[in-house]
Amino acid sequence: MDAIIWEGNRLRLLDQTKLPGTIEYIECNDYYTVAEAIKRLSVRGAPAIGAAAAYGLVVGAGQIQTEDPKVFLEKLESIAGELGATRPTAVNLRWALDRMMLRLSSAGEKSVQELRDILLEEAHAIYNEDVESNRRMGEYGQQLFPDEVRVLTHCNAGALATAGYGTALGVIRAAHERGKKVSVYADETRPLLQGARLTSWEMVQEGIPVTLITDNMAGYLMSQKMVDCVIVGADRITANGDVANKIGTYGVAVLAKYHQIPFYVAAPLSTIDMNLSSGEQIPIEERDAREVTHHAGQVVAPDGVKAWNPAFDVTPNGLVTAIITEKGVVQPPYTENLKKIFRDKKQEEV
């Protein structure tokens, strides 16, 4: 199931808030619709948000009524700012928009239509590169799995959270495709149940054995020696290897450390923010309290109760066994080895 579709010069986004019961696409005829889809989690997952925002900028460019390139770029910068403000934690969002604008700034003197064409070309590149990087990530990551493995994952880091194939679930897919006997435990992932609604759905579609558990069962599951490793995605990784991911990830990492279970993070290099030295600097999005006090439109808490709803937490690097990227598996010490992988990448590009 494609989460992001560009066809006939229009953008369609799978409304993941309605899965698994209803498959429905949002027709994005203006960038406001794209921004709202990102904000309300109709499209979610750091790589998918980046790709959707890139196409959202293309949609916004089509709304600008001017033939003056300077005016066009000024208005486009404003649109990029609005799209970039929708979700503060996932770094891929800002990364994709900055990449789109940088591509235009290096294009030289062009007409407005030529600039629009360049934007679409760059959005396609971001999308296609993400799919390819996920597949490479899967190949590197599956090598960490034994021939028979029971994997616990938290939230959803599959094809729905990316341009395609997935990060954490991409590693699981790759192992399954190579004939390894993989079974998955999916945390339900409160409060919005991305594990229950999305991860388990993707695994069922792929024919990969999956067992759904509530978030508070993970510790007991590990104590019963029913988990061989944990793998999650990420919304931002800092230069020292601290990992921001869906709320609850930190707790799973602590449990894994106590039970001496490997804890892997799968994420493309675009999710690694080398401008931040540690997880303390990551802005953590706080969402509407009604996501906690309500479920499926029904009240599940008493009137007047306060609710705290951070969407992410930060897992310290000391709890992370390895970071799986499209350029290989990064081991501690992360400060040194993440620098090296980016240095090697830059040399390849030269």
Structure confidence at residue 349 (pLDDT): 80
Specify whether 37 is located in the same domain as 168. no
Can you give the residue range of the structural domain that contains 169?
141-349
> Quick one: 119 and 53 in the same domain?
yes
Q: Which of 100, 119, 134 is the last residue of a domain?
A: 134
Distance CA 45, CA 92 (A): 9
CATH no. for residue 291? 3.40.50.10470
Cis peptide before 332 (omega within 30 of 0): no
Choose among 205, 90, 217: nearest CA to 152. Answer: 217
Q: What is the pLDDT of residue 348?
A: 85
- Pick the catalytic residue from 15, 187, 235, 313: 235
Would the annotation count 45 as a binding residue? yes
Q: Which helix (H) or strand (E) holds 6?
A: strand 4-7
Q: Which residue carries 């435990």 as its tokens?
A: 185
Domain edge (last residue) among 134, 158, 184: 134
213 and 332 belong to one structural domain: yes
Residue 125 sits in the same domain as residue 183: no
82 and 169 assigned to the same domain: no
How far apart, in whole angstroms, are the C-alpha atoms of residue 61 and residue 77?
10
Exposure string over 31-57, b if 16+ CB within 10 A, otherwise e = bbbbbebbebbbbbbbbbbbbbbbbbb
* 210, 329: one domain: yes
275 marked ligand binding residue: no
If asked whether residues 186 and 308 sit together in one domain, one would say yes
Contact 319, 256 (CB under 8 A): yes
Same domain, 98 and 173: no
What local confidence, expressed as pLDDT, does residue 185 receive? 98
Is 246 marked as a binding-site residue?
A: yes
pTM of the model: 0.95
**Which residue, 113, 134, 155, sits at the end of a domain?**
134
46 is in an annotated binding site: yes
Active-site annotation holds for 15: no
Contact call for residues 89 and 284 (beta carbons, < 8 A): yes
Q: Work out how many domains the chain is built from and give that number.
A: 2
Count of Cβ atoms closer than 10 Å to residue 275 Cβ = 9
Same domain membership, residue 335 and residue 228: yes
Asked whether residue 168 falls in the same domain as residue 61, the answer is no
Q: What is the CATH number of the domain that holds 45?
A: 1.20.120.420
Residues 298, 174, single domain; the answer is yes
What pLDDT, on the 0 to 100 scale, is given for residue 224?
Answer: 98
196-255 residue pLDDT tens? 999 999 999 999 999 999 999 999 999 999 999 999 999 999 999 999 999 999 999 999
Residue 1, pLDDT score? 75
| Kind plus residue range of the DSSP H or E element containing 74 | helix 69-84
Confidence (pLDDT) at 345: 87
Whether residue 95 is found in the same domain as residue 128 = yes
Residue 287, annotated ligand binder? no
Please, are residues 55 and 30 in contact by the beta-carbon 8 Å criterion?
no
Name residues of the chain where pLDDT drops below 70: none
